Amino acid sequence: MTAKHVLIIDDEPDICELIEITLARMGLNSRSAMNVADALKLIEAEHFDLCLTDMRLPDGDGIEMVKYVQQNHPNIPIAVITAHGNMELAVKALKAGAFDFVSKPVDIQILRNLVSSATTLPGEDTSDSDTSKTTITGQSLVVGALISKITKLARSQAPVFIHGESGSGKERVARMIHQQGSRSKAPFVPVNCGAISAELMESEFFGHIKGSFTGANNAKEGLFQAANGGTLFLDEVAELPLNMQVKLLRAIQEKAVRPVGAEHEIPVDVRILSASHTNLEQLVGEGQFRQDLYYRINVIDLIVPSLRDRLEDIPLLTQQMLKTIAEKSGLEKTPGISKGAVEALMDYDFPGNVRELENILERALALADDNIIGTSDLALNKQAQTQTQSQTAETVASSLDLEGQEKSSIMQALEKTRWNKTAAARLLGLSLRQLRYRLEKFGID
């Protein structure tokens, strides 16, 4: 296997020599240029697998190089070397398309991590990663554009903020970015920021040492350490309290965390992806979210379309979901759905998006005769149709769970699964505990 080639662009001989030595120890070849003019000649004459450029050069700057490489050699990742603490320029470079950045004085381990990630990016051939990868089902134009942007973002280390309504598939998008990038073999760690109590938040994120507080009987690694080398997905990041936002910002900028009770920081190599269905910019204006953290996690934003914006994908989504539901429930045959039922779904507003569609199909299947879902089984009543987009999927689900149908739905689900309670719970979209509660409530033995 031939060694990878790296182009170094820096007018400081000491920096060039340091990087050359580091690359050589990694088994990589390198060429150095002292200015933009020489760099352009080299990049056009030779093949490179990575470009490292200083931000300030005698005849130009690193942003210009990033834009040139992005336009003329988009398959070559380019990283920038910035002055210490100059996050504004680093973010500007990432927005322009830089793979990542490293600050002066150059930390050798951070440099090695960056180079390793950049030189192991997946190529165009993705035959080694087909069925195991997370995908988005759909043939609409908006889905095609989303998949295209995900592919591009996967070739970067820039933080991405994912906008989208509740139930639209933000975590699925984050997984796709992770799985298509150089970190795909490392952990993907999702965390719902709103589900962690404020008292335990610092310990959950950064870990703690034994005896650091009452109840800390053992040392524990945090989410950052668990995601080391991979991706940390911060879902509902707007739920973080202000004091935790400060600590999170420092961890992201310093690429290090300090466990509760520890004296020293631990370096971590983590890509940050975040998401929220809340308008973060509005929260910043109201003083509820730190502007500096918003600026740092929202380097690139990605909008996940609502199901209303891609109604033409509903027939394909419905078929895939019914197949998945059948597999989870142990059904021998994939359920069917009538043409009228599909048309009714395409006329529905879906305030709860893809998650709501799945809930509707699971409940409808419990009511359906002969394993075929009809229009009436969907229970898309007028009240649900006129609900506003801001209603949550949970509110919609509860409105669909009509009291008069609940017992009948449970009985039919139990019969379909031959009284396998676990399979019946899956079919109904309930947890086993929820199903047991309902069995007791209705006196079903």
pLDDT, one tens digit per residue, over 227-285 is 999 999 999 999 999 999 999 999 998 899 999 888 899 999 999 999 998 889 999 99
Give the integer Cα–Cα distance in Å for 2 and 410: 62
Query: In the prediction, which pLDDT does 420 show?
Result: 82
Q: Are residues 425 and 363 in contact, defined by beta-carbon separation less than 8 angstroms?
A: no
Backbone torsions φ then ψ of 173, nearest 5 degrees: -65, -45
- In the chain, CATH 3.40.50.300 sits at 141-303
| C-beta neighbour count of 124 within 10 angstroms | 5
Asked if the 307-441 domain carries CATH number 3.40.50.1100, the reply is no
Q: Which of 88, 18, 19, 22 is closest to 55 using CA atoms?
A: 88
The predicted model scores a pTM of: 0.81
Sheet of 29-33, strand order: 29-33, 5-9, 50-54, 78-82, 101-103
Extract the runs of DSSP E, i.e. beta strands, from 84-218.
Answer: 101-103, 160-163, 188-192
Query: In the prediction, which pLDDT does 429 show?
Result: 63
**CATH H-level, domain 141-303: superfamily:** P-loop containing nucleotide triphosphate hydrolases (3.40.50.300)
Query: In the prediction, which pLDDT does 413 show?
Result: 78
Residues 308, 310, 316, 320, Cα dihedral to 10°: -60
297: Cβ contacts below 8 Å, ≥ 6 apart: 159, 161, 234, 237, 252, 272, 274
Query: In the prediction, which pLDDT does 218 show?
Result: 86
Query: In the prediction, which pLDDT does 213 show?
Result: 78
- In the chain, CATH 1.10.8.60 sits at 307-441
Residues 6, 224, 181, 151, Cα dihedral to 10°: -120
Query: In the prediction, which pLDDT does 259 show?
Result: 92
Query: In the prediction, which pLDDT does 411 show?
Result: 82
For 178-199, how does the pLDDT look when each residue is reduced to its tens digit (9 = 90+)? Answer: 999 999 999 999 999 989 888 8
142: Cβ contacts below 8 Å, ≥ 6 apart: 305, 309, 310
- Give me the residues of the chain with pLDDT under 70, please: 1, 85, 123-132, 381-406, 429-431, 433-434, 437
- In the chain, CATH 3.40.50.2300 sits at 5-118
Q: For the domain with range 5-118, which CATH number is right: 3.40.50.300, 3.40.50.2300, 3.40.630.30, 3.90.1150.10?
A: 3.40.50.2300
Vertex 387: Cα angle to 385 and 390 (nearest 5): 135
Q: Are residues 143 and 173 in contact, defined by beta-carbon separation less than 8 angstroms?
A: no
DSSP 444: -
